[in-house]
Structure formats: C-alpha cells, structure tokens
Amino acid sequence: MLEDLKQKVYDANMLLPKLDLVTFTWGNVSQIDRESGLFVIKPSGVDYDKLRPEDMVVVNLKGEVVEGDMNPSSDTPTHMYLYNHFPNIGGVVHTHSPWAVSFAQAKKDVQAFGTTHADTFYGDVPAADALTQDEIEGEYELNTGEVIVRTFKERGIDPDAVPAVLVSQHGPFTWGKDAADAVHNAKVLEVVAEMNYHTLMLNPYSDNHVPQYLLDKHYYRKHGANAYYGQDNAKSKDHAKH
C-alpha cells in the first residue's frame, strides 16, 4: 500500500546523508497521506546504504503499524503527535545535525538575524523544554511531541510560519508541506544555526533581529496576503501591502 508515498519518503530519507544532515542512522523522515490518515516513516536503525523503498513502514495516527516488516523509527511517536496537532503539515524530519543540536542542547533559540533565516522561518526557531517522561501503563514514554506542541502554544508561535523546533537534550525537528519540504527546512535550519553561532561570536550583543513586520512580509510573500499569521487578518493585509 501507498507505494508512491513510500518512494517519496525513501527519496527524502536518502537526502539526509547527501545534505550532511546525519551521521550513521541518526535521523528520520516521514510523510502523511491526510486522506487515509496513514503516514510512512523510515524503519529504525537501518543504514542508509542498505535502505530500500519497500522497507518504509506504514503507521496510523494511533501509532499502530499498518504495514511493514521492520520497526518504525524510534521517533515515530513524535512524528505522529505532530501530525495530530499541526493539521497543515505533510512531512516531518528529525536529525542530529551538529549546529542545530548544539543550540538544542544549549536550550537557545536560533534567532532571525537576517533574510537567510527569514526566507524560511518567519520568526525565531524556539528551543523547547527538556524531554518529559510520563509513566504510561508502566512504560516510560518520552513525550517529545507534547513538549514541542506545548512550546508553540505557550509562546504563541504559528507552526506554519516557523516549521522547526530545537528539542533540548535531543535535537531539531522540522516539518513542511511534504517530506522533501521538511528536509529543505532541516538543511536551512542547520545552515542558519551555524550562522547564528558566528553572528553571536562576532557580536554577542547582536540585536539586529529582523523586525517582526518584515518577517510577516516574507511570510505573506510566500503564503499569500490572506495567510493568517497569528494576527488580525486586516492588519496582516496592511503589512503585506508595504
């Protein structure tokens, strides 16, 4: 089932080593078919050079494996949580790319210091709280997905405007309209994280943050003036006109 989607998800996973976003098997990509409510994700712990499209695992939004001979990625609960709570996303990526992980471990946002950032992320990329562990039926479940969604809610960040997060004690998760778009965002995050580091080394008090109205403008240019970005639409339309 979903053979075309398996091919797309396989292709997106194979971009991770190509884009220097993963070491060994440290990463995973998925994409959802919103019609069926099923998503396809990489199997856990499989070397990229051994991976095949037919190895992709099909999972439903309760986290149950619907088709696949191997275990799905260990991050499947997080991908699933994001699909359940961010209705407009179509693909999710997790990597351990070094610059983004450094900011995640330091629990520091990647700030919007310039257009390189603003062309993809229309605001700072937030560092989420550390992992939480809840005992669920005697098993410990790392509620990474809950930590991500809670961070966006508490900080009033629109996940469609900032398709990325830095999970402390773990690493970056990015998302997008599909798997390929989510991989693109993962690479941009890694590049702008490195730029953030050097910007702050050159000027630790750097406050040349791109103003929010300009970030809005980039957002509307890409998503259209009617796109809602956490503000009154009338006001947003005015922004877009400038």
Ligand X SMILES: O=C(CO)[C@@H](O)[C@H](O)COP(=O)(O)O
Residues that bind ligand X (CB under 6 A): 25-26, 28, 42, 44-45, 73-75, 94, 96
The span from the CA of 68 to the CA of 27, in Å, is 19
Which CB sits closer to ligand X, 94 or 218?
A: 94
**Least separation, in Å, of the C-beta of 25 and ligand X?**
4
**Least separation, in Å, of the C-beta of 161 and ligand X?**
25
Is 119 annotated in the active site?
Answer: yes
Which CB sits closer to ligand X, 76 or 185?
A: 76
The burial class, CB within 10 Å (0-12 / 13-18 / 19+), for 92 is: buried
Residue 97 near residue 22, CB atoms below 8 Å: yes
The residues with which 58 forms a beta bridge, in sequence order, are 40, 67
**Least separation, in Å, of the C-beta of 148 and ligand X?**
14
Instruction: Say whether 125 sits in a helix, a strand or coil.
Output: strand
**One of 119, 213, 228, 238 is an active-site residue; which one?**
119
**Least separation, in Å, of the C-beta of 72 and ligand X?**
8
Which CB sits closer to ligand X, 144 or 196?
A: 144
Residue 128 near residue 147, CB atoms below 8 Å: yes
**Least separation, in Å, of the C-beta of 39 and ligand X?**
14
Q: How many residues does the chain have?
A: 242
Residue type, 35: E
Which CB sits closer to ligand X, 50 or 241?
A: 50
Which CB sits closer to ligand X, 57 or 210?
A: 57
Give me the helices (H) in the chain, please: 3-18, 76-85, 98-105, 115-118, 144-155, 179-202, 212-223, 233-241
For residue 166 the two structure tokens come to 């830095």
**One of 81, 83, 220, 229 is an active-site residue; which one?**
229
Residue from 15, 202, 226 nearest 114 by CA: 202
Catalytic machinery residues: 119, 229
